[in-house]
Amino acid sequence: MSTMKAASIRLWRTSPATYLALIVGCALSLFPIYWMFVVATRSNDVINDVPPPMLPGAELADNVGRVFANEHAAFAYGLVNSLVVSSVVTLSVVFFSTLAGFAFAKLRFRGRNAMLLVIVATMMVPIQLGLIPLYMLMVKIGWNGHLQAVIVPFLVSGFGVFMMRQYAAEAISDELVEAARVDGCSTFRIYWNVVLPVLRPAAAVLGLLTFMQTWNEFIWPYAVLDANTPTVQLSLSLLATAYYTDYAQVFAATALATLPLFAVFILFGRQIIGGIMEGSIKS
């Protein structure tokens, strides 16, 4: 009885108007994605009806079949390539960021602060601005058109190093590092056995963000790769720009390319949200 009363009071304190506004906001967020899945399950002649259909249909398998049969876009290749690229980049960024973040937070060495400042400054330099020479470099070493062209330049991240430094500075006590030292651990052993387990939550968030970002990367693959070795975003754009009258096929491909991200987001959304909110407090 009393708990019910308390609950109703708590509900009253937030007005229905707040919930209404939040629901409208979320509906606007979700609608284009919902619409994407609706079109992906419909046939082309229905999509062009007036008014357009608002509920999913039964043609998903048909549309997906057309996507994979389309030789021009090499969609299956794109999916596999993106999985490889995103996984390798994510593992590498997490490894090097935790390693350097630990060094900056817990080890003493000459020029530490100046070098940290350089890393923060690199976060301001977007890769797009070096696009032309980077492309020339790739042509020179023969990497253009090959996957390593979209992997190797992204193996480290200034943002990642900075994020791990901030987390390590607070999460790891000096005593822990000292104790491991006294026990005769080498510095790398301390990193691997003591530091890495403590950094795991933050490293997971960095990994998730890196995976999503790499999966979604567009301009650089667009410049350096071609239809023989596409990433999924490149396949998607080839499909969309060449077959833009076959909306059902294009939207089925868009849904397929987005699905892995949603799976990651639904599983780890809480951690990602926490990471974004946390980062802002510290910066």
Partner 1 sequence: MTSSSVVRASAAAQAAGARDPWRSRLTRADVRFAPYFFIAPFFVMFAIFGAFPLVYTGWVSLHDWHLIGDHTFIGFANYTALFADPDFWNALKNTVGIFVLATVPQLMMALGMANLLNRKIRARTFFRMGVLIPNVTSVAAVGIVFGQLFARDVGLVNYVITSLGLDAVDWQANTWSSWIAIATMVDWRWTGYNTLILLGAMQAIPKDLFEAAALDGASPWQQFWRITVPQLRPTLVFTVIISTIGGLQLFTEPVIFGNGRMLGGTLGQFQTVTMYMYETAFQRFQYGYGAAIAWSLFGLIVVFSAVNLLIVRRAAG
Question: Rule CB under 8 A: which of 67-86 touch partner 1?
Answer: none
Q: Tell me whether residue 69 or residue 139 sits nearer to partner 1 (CB atom).
A: 139
* Stretch of residues binding partner 1 (CB under 8 A), selected from 63-71, 73-81, 184-192, 196-204: 184-192
**Two tokens at 60?**
């998903």
- Return the residues of window 243-272 that contact partner 1 according to CB under 8 A: 244, 247, 250-251, 254, 257-258, 261-262, 264-265, 269-270, 272
DSSP string, 96-150: HHHHHHHHHHH---TTHHHHHHHHHHHTT--GGGGHHHHHHHHHHTT-TTSTHHH
* Stretch of residues binding partner 1 (CB under 8 A), selected from 61-69, 73-81, 117-125, 199-207: 117-125
- Return the residues of window 196-215 that contact partner 1 according to CB under 8 A: 212, 215
Q: Using CB under 8 A, which of 6, 80, 112, 117 touches partner 1?
A: 112
Q: How far apart are the first and last CA of the chain?
A: 46
Tell me the CB-side half-sphere exposure of residue 258, using CA atoms within 13 A: 12
- Return the residues of window 123-182 that contact partner 1 according to CB under 8 A: 124-137, 139, 152-153, 155-156, 158, 161, 174, 177-178, 181-182
Q: Using CB under 8 A, which of 11, 46, 80, 267 touches partner 1?
A: 11
How far is CA 45 from its chain centroid?
35
Q: Using CB under 8 A, which of 64, 79, 85, 100 touches partner 1?
A: 100
| 48 belongs to the binding site for partner 1 (CB under 8 A) | yes
CB 144 → partner 1: shortest distance, Å?
11
What is the DSSP code (8-state) at residue 41? T
Euclidean distance between CA atoms 240 and 15, whole angstroms: 44
Buried b (16+ CB within 10 A) or exposed e, 193-203: ebbbebbeebb
